Structure 1
Amino acid sequence: MRTRWRLVGGAVTVTDGLVLRPVRPWTGAVHALLTHLREQGLECVPEPVGVRDDVEAVTYLEGDCGGDAMPHQWSTEGLESAARLLRRVHDATRTFEPPARVEWAFPPVPGADVVCHGDPAPWNFVWRDGEAVGLIDWDHASPGPAMDDVAYLADTFAPFRPDEVAADDHGFPAPPDRAARVRELLAAYGASGVGFVDRVVERQQKTVERVLWLADQGIEPWASWVRQGLLEDLRARATWTREHRHLVE
């Protein structure tokens, strides 16, 4: 008899080399995408194992992630490694053919040329020895323009945040040179910086819309986050970027 996969406290659980997560409406789409990426030789993404009842399982990638990821991304080398990894993933998605009637977390957007990860922040990369070697947590994946992901990457890696947030939440030991970090990130990815700050503002606004989209459907934890005031924090990020362009371009 097969073992039942159980979530501890209903939350994401790591056990026996597997990451167990609640099944979402988009789980089938994400598993198909991850299978494609693994078939393209990308071992930097989890391998889908399957679904049992209301729990999905993917393989666990060894390394630092979450809060432990922060020190790795302070350096130019760490920043550039994340940008290069994202570019490899994007390029491999271009040949992905999703199953019929597939459901993503968000509707596809005009100008889609890749399947975006949707949340390529430092804590969703896996790090070893200061280098980004994996990309996890694919709940927000959906077809979109590659530059949406690049803008989100810059938003969270530069970061487009006040100095106190860069220190307290992102752990920077000193105020970062955001403009230099944006240039390094774009060069490593292979993208142009023309109009890029405006692109980041657009992506920050889209984050607000997407969180609200999930919350309005009652999907957790986004519904709880909205009740706790997350939207106000997200809207404030775009306001900060508009008012501090001189720091980021």
Structure 2
Amino acid sequence: MTTDTVPGDAAVAQHKMTTRNVNVYYGAKQAIKDVSIDIDMDNVTAFIGPSGCGKSTFLRTLNRMNDTVASARVTGEITLDGEDIYASSMDVVQLRARVGMVFQKPNPFPKSIYDNIAYGPRIHGLATSKADLDVIVESSLRRAGLWDEVKDRLRDSGTALSGGQQQRLCIGRAIAVEPEVILMDEPCSALDPIATAKIEELIHALRGRYAIVIVTHNMQQAARVSQRTAFFHLGDLVEYGVTTDIFTNPREERTKDYITGRYG
């Protein structure tokens, strides 16, 4: 694996999340092989690679979503601000508030637009009054680029929105619990080009406020939205570095073959 930084170097203190020698197994099958990577606050990090290469599986290790799969087993170390997220003392509910997930298919709750956003702050005790909740809902919808489109129909069902609006609602829902990291698993794959462009604009707007990791099958999208790119193939992290370098001057032959369309 080629990387333009050395895991464990002096810059590690600046990394929001670090992974060291991570392996993921589903039963006897190994899906991720010895992956070490750093995720920063000031960069959007894209995971790319052909279908079945392990990029979404690895993404799910970052907030322990694989815990929901009975056959899954994760080894190695993953830290958030230096704290081992797989330690027995880690509160998984709190971890998933700190490391939010936006899925491939928009999945708003069968509730109003308002209640979709308010749900997390309510259960995590982030608002002490209706006025506090109103502020969180408006702020989250504004940051998700959706407020102006829905401010007059907050009591309408979230499921009545268009696909692109639903996905931005889900991003707003993740933002509402004050996360530190946002994981996005192919968030635009079910959307049309106009909705996709809005999500990409939103990612640019959110950069720096949160550490953002996006899995995408669309190499052009990775080039547009990310500053760092990791290329996965058959469970291996083949290459990780500055996005422009990965796309214009890859160091690994497998990366070059994928970027130039020889397989995928």
Would you call these one fold, judging by a TM-score over 0.5? Answer: no
Bin of the TM-score, shorter chain as denominator length = under 0.3
- Say which structure is richer in helix: 1
* Greater RCO (Cα-Cα under 8 Å, separation 6 or more): 2
* TM-score (norm: length of structure 1): 0.26
